């Protein structure tokens, strides 16, 4: 383990990946909050979402909040490709290997076992790509996971979601600074185009129809797009974003080796209490995907589907600026942790 800034780094060594290559000297950046009790049974794992680093989502961790560090020992593992864990921007590896959620969760498990001696996880909580990791945790390591809360996530990337991500990739790679399969300079136009694509998909029809963006102090739709989305991804490395898009598109719990592509078998392997909380108006992770999944969680201790009643689209699951959505999630997780 090494320390860098306000977080630690787990040195995983050379890691065999699902893509049949070995990732040399793989590094997993993580941060912990709160204290582990003597029984080591108050652990929450909270994986990061697309392009996010731990400090982007740690607002959820506060006394009396959705994830309470006064009661739980919370670990945020940074997903590979986010610029803190091994990524194109910090590894010097070209081409960057195709990493899967299975690979990421396997290294996260090593962190918990080797660094902390953890054998049981009270809750894996994740939003978006974090939710997909939570699903992988529950399916691939059912002996460890007591509860899994999947917020605006799914067991695999749907074709509709895949197509959205193809648009994002096209925005980045048609920038003039993408040449010969790599970025020769920051793709400013591509990053702006990516933000505009995200603006349409991230929020709901009703959000724009009812001009809900005005609640944020924006004077016009263009003002909202310019100030909220044009620079939304400018702080990130474009190659890192492409790496994480690949992880997202490849996401599928049935591709873990023991399931052989059988999604029903993968879902049936889950033995945790499961809470599926899609956003009612989310376009990335449609409610119907979770509706299809819940009936196949036949061996789960319990399985509940509680959509977030919100017009904030995908962002209902990360509601830092939406008190009603935050209160809904807080109440659901508080009750879920009592199971």
What is the model's pLDDT at position 119?
Answer: 98
Cα distance between residue 86 and residue 4, in whole Å: 14
* 95: preceding bond cis by omega (within 30 degrees): yes
What is the model's pLDDT at position 177?
Answer: 98
Whether residue 4 has pLDDT greater than 80: no
Distance of CA 308 to the CA centre of its chain: 17
Whether residue 5 has pLDDT greater than 80: no
SS3 292: helix
Taking each helix axis from N to C end, the angle separating 159-173 and 238-250, rounded to the nearest 10 degrees, works out to 160
Q: Which residue is it, tokens 């996880």?
A: 121
What is the model's pLDDT at position 27?
Answer: 98
Separation in Å, CA 301 to CA 148, 193, 269, 272, 275: 11, 44, 11, 5, 11
CA Rg value for the chain: 19
Structure tokens at 155: 């067991």
The long-range contacts involving 183-187, CB below 8 angstroms and separated by at least 24 positions, are 183/238, 183/239, 186/238, 187/238
Q: Tens of pLDDT along 78-124?
A: 999 999 999 999 999 999 999 999 999 999 999 999 999 999 999 99
Please give the model's pTM, rounded to 2 decimal places.
0.97
The residues annotated as belonging to the active site are: 128, 282, 314
The secondary structure element, H or E, covering residue 138 is: helix 129-140
Whether residue 24 has pLDDT greater than 80: yes
What is the model's pLDDT at position 37?
Answer: 98
Which pLDDT band, with edges at 50, 70 and 90, does 3 fall under?
Answer: low
Provide mean pLDDT across the span 165-193. 97
Cα distance between residue 57 and residue 71, in whole Å: 19
With a pLDDT cut of 90, the percent of the chain lying above it is 97
Whether residue 143 has pLDDT greater than 90: yes
Q: What is the mean pLDDT of the chain?
A: 97
Q: Tens of pLDDT along 48-86?
A: 999 999 999 999 999 999 999 999 999 999 999 999 999
87, 73, 132, 128: which is closest to 105 by C-alpha?
A: 132
240, 247, 239: which is closest to 180 by C-alpha?
A: 239
Q: Tens of pLDDT along 230-279?
A: 999 999 999 999 999 999 999 999 998 899 999 999 999 999 999 999 99
Cα distance between residue 284 and residue 273, in whole Å: 24
CA atoms within 13 A on the CB side of 93: 18
What is the model's pLDDT at position 257?
Answer: 84
Question: What is the DSSP-derived secondary structure letter of residue 113?
Answer: I
What is the model's pLDDT at position 339?
Answer: 87
What is the model's pLDDT at position 2?
Answer: 72
């Amino acid at each position: 383990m090494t320390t860098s800034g306000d977080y630690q780094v787990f040195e995983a060594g050379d890691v065999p990946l699902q893509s049949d290559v070995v990732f040399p000297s793989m590094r997993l950046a993580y941060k912990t909050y709160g204290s582990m009790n003597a029984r080591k049974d108050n652990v929450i794992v909270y994986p990061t979402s697309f392009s996010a680093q731990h400090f982007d989502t740690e607002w959820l961790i506060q006394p009396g909040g959705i994830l309470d560090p006064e009661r739980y020992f919370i670990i945020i593992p940074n997903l590979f490709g986010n610029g803190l864990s091994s990524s194109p921007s910090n590894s010097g590896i070209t081409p960057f290997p195709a990493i899967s959620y299975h690979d990421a969760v396997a290294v996260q498990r090593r962190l918990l076992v080797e660094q902390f001696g953890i054998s049981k996880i009270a809750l894996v909580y994740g939003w978006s790509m974090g939710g997909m990791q939570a699903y992988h945790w529950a399916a691939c390591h059912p002996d460890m996971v007591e509860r899994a809360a999947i917020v605006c996530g799914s067991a695999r990337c749907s074709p509709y979601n895949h197509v959205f991500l193809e648009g994002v990739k096209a925005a980045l790679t048609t920038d003039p600074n993408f040449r010969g399969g790599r970025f020769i300079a920051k793709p400013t136009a591509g990053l702006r185009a990516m933000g505009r694509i995200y603006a349409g998909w991230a929020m709901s029809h009703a959000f724009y129809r009812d001009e809900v963006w005005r609640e944020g102090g924006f004077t016009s739709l263009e003002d909202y797009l310019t100030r909220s989305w044009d620079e939304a991804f400018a702080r990130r490395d474009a190659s890192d974003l492409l790496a994480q898009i690949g992880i997202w598109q490849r996401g599928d719990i049935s591709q873990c080796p023991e399931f052989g592509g059988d999604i029903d078998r993968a879902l049936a392997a889950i033995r945790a209490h499961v809470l599926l909380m899609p956003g009612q108006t989310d376009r990335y992770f449609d409610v119907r995907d979770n509706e299809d999944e819940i009936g196949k969680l036949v061996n789960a201790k319990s399985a509940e589907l509680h959509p977030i009643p919100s017009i904030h689209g995908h962002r209902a699951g990360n509601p830092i600026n939406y008190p009603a959505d935050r209160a809904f999630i807080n109440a659901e997780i508080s009750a879920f942790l009592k199971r």
